[in-house]
Amino acid sequence: MRRDLVLRVASKFILPPIMLFALYVQFHGDYGPGGGFQAGVIAAAAIILYGLVNGLARAQKMVPQALLEVLMPSGVLIYAAVGVAGLMTGENYLGYDHLAHDAVHGQEWGVFLVEAGVFLTVFSSMIAIFYAFAGRRRS
Amino acid sequence: MNLITGLMADATNIATIFLMVAGLYVVIARGNMVKKLVGLSLFQSSVYLLYLLPGKILGGSAPILDPKLTVYANPLPHVLILTAIVVGIGTLALGLTLVVRIKEAYGTFEEDEIIARDGAKAGEQGDVA
Amino acid sequence: MMDPAFAEQAITLVILLLLAAVTVGIVRVRGLFAAVVLLGAYSFLMATLFVVLDAVDVAMTEASVGAGISTVLFLGALYLTDTKEATGKARELAPLAVAAITAAVLIWGMSDLPEFGSADQPIHAKGADYLARSLPDTGIPNVVTSVLASYRGFDTLGETTVVFTAGIGVLVLLRRRSGQGKS
């Protein structure tokens, strides 16, 4: 598998379009199908593809395990912090109406930040799960 | 035309029930733990179908608002099932991890053999005591 | 020109038949590798059906999660365990009976379910009208996103927490400890 030239070159070419598509799905989620979950899974799939073809060590050089362990909780924390920010501005928990100068802009900010938090957690959790399976030796 | 509309409700519901029952059968009948997880996935997908089928309106479109369109599918089941799918992959990953650990600890991932081994071990301990 | 409502029903029926065929394959096949690959095909068919049912967000998620990530995880687990399953077990009759009784009960309860694709079902008439509220409240045209992240933000917070918890659980269970020698 490691030596397969076609797969390695093809995976290198296909990696940037997949990442770009993930970003598109993330930021265009308000206007078309998509959002944090889908973007997170698609971006994770790009890294997993790279890891499957080029080996775990190369993938871990690109996205280190330590980074994943920081990103996993930070996504949930961003989400929860947006809720607390809603409380601070005199709304309910996870109420976004007062986050900006009017309700619609506040909602857009709230949804954007929440989706970013979802993206971080889903992306890093999926890759961490893949690393855990790929890094274990056969018994 | 009327015939197919009349058939459709029954056909979709029967298909959903078939998928659900097939998943249930695999979970009960097969002792292999990975196969059980495959059965659980089947069962789960049938529930997605059960939720999404009533939300559909014939001739409607996806719930992305546009001035040119008037009829949309109901968005609420979509949100619920989106959540269910993502939670499903989390539980699946955890289940597969447990299967890997069981295989490492017991040397097998067949339910019967694991129960037999546990029974034998319990019997040994009973003899000692 | 074919009537669009008729076309939607016909496509739904065909995909449901294909799904049933793949399901029979998954149930009957011996060998885990074939079952896992068939499950990937099943997920793709399911995603196609979701597109026909106008659930584009769900279809995208099912295609990337069900057919992509979960197949990779299954194959990883098979690599770490075994691709063969034990054959020749006597347990056939009882599970079949349980499945048949469950199916009978479900089909019996099915008679009250509403018609497929009609607009005057309770699901469309009752409840919060997110379709009308989304644009004035949030300015987001994709109603699924606005319901997911704004109206039902608590659900999504819980869901993100579940993904996080699952990731932690897998890391804890599969991490190699430095002192742990492999036999």
User: In the prediction, which pLDDT does B112 show?
Assistant: 85
Greater confidence (B119 vs A80) lies with: A80
Neighbouring C-beta atoms of residue B67, cutoff 10 Å: 6
The predicted structure's pLDDT at residue B126: 60
Option in A31, A37, A129 nearest B93 (CB): A129
What letter represents residue B125's amino acid?
Q
Q: How confident is the model at residue A51 (pLDDT cuts 50, 70, 90)?
A: very high
pLDDT at A137: 81
Instruction: Note the pLDDT of residue C137.
Output: 86
Partner residue opposite B25 with nearest CB, options C80, C96, C124: C96
Positions in chain C short of pLDDT 70: 1-2, 88-91, 176-183
Residue A102 has pLDDT above 70, yes or no: yes
CB contact under 8 A, C163 and A52: no
Domain ranges of chain C: 1-86, 128-177
pLDDT of residue C179: 46
Residues of C in contact with A121 (CB under 8 A): 160, 163-164, 167
Backbone angles phi, psi at C115, to 5 degrees: -70, 150
Q: What is the mean pLDDT of chain A?
A: 90
The pLDDT of residue B83 is 92
Min Cα–Cα distance to chain C from B31, Å: 8
Q: What is the pLDDT of residue C21?
A: 96
Domain encompassing residue B73: 2-128
DSSP chain A: -TT-HHHHHHHHHHHHHHHHHHHHHHHTTTTSS--HHHHHHHHHHHHHHHHHHH-HHHHHHHS-HHHHHHHHHHHHHHHHHHHHHHHHTTS-TT--TTSSSSHHHHHHHHHHHHHHHHHHHHHHHHHHHHHHHHHSPP-
- ipTM comes to 0.90
Q: Which chains touch C (3 or more CB pairs under 8 A)?
A: A, B
C174 CB neighbours in chain A (<8 A) are 132-133, 135-136
Q: How many domains does chain B have?
A: 1
Query: CA-nearest residue of chain B to A32?
Result: B64
Nearest CA in chain B to C90: B29
Min distance A26 CA to chain C CA atoms (Å)? 11
- Among the partner-chain residues C117, C142, C163, the one whose CB lies closest to the CB of B56 is C117
- Which of A41-50, A103-112, C44-53 is least confident? A103-112
Q: Looking at beta carbons, which residues of chain A come within 8 Å of C157?
A: 76, 79-80, 83, 94
Q: Do B17 and C155 touch (CB under 8 A)?
A: no
Residue A9, min C-alpha distance to chain C (Å): 21
DSSP structure class, residue B109: -
Specify the pLDDT at position C17.
Answer: 94
Do the beta carbons of residue B89 and residue C65 sit within 8 Å? yes
Distance from CA of A90 to the nearest CA of C (A): 16
Residues of A in contact with B64 (CB under 8 A): 31-33
CATH level 3 topology of C1-86: Four Helix Bundle (Hemerythrin (Met), subunit A) (1.20.120)
Q: Which amino acid is at C77?
A: A
CATH no. for residue B112?
1.10.287.3510
**Test mutation, B38, B108, B115, chain C, max C CBs within 10 A:** B38
Judged by CB atoms closer than 8 Å, whether chains meet at B97 and A37 is answered as: no
A102, burial (CB in 10 Å: exposed 0-12, middle 13-18, buried 19+): exposed
pLDDT score at C16: 93
Given B10, B83, B100, which is nearest C77 (Cβ)?
B100
Stretches where chain B sits below pLDDT 70 are 1-6, 125-129
Identify the CA nearest to C173 among candidates A81, A113, B95, B6.
B95
Considering only alpha carbons, which residue of chain A is nearest residue B106?
Answer: A139
Return the pLDDT at C183: 39
Out of C23, C78, C156, the one facing B42 most closely (by C-beta) is C23
Burial of A138 (0-12, 13-18, 19+ CB in 10 A): exposed
pLDDT at residue C181, rounded to an integer: 46
DSSP code for C141: S
Residue of A136, A137, A138, A139 to mutate, interface with C, max C Cβ within 10 Å: A136
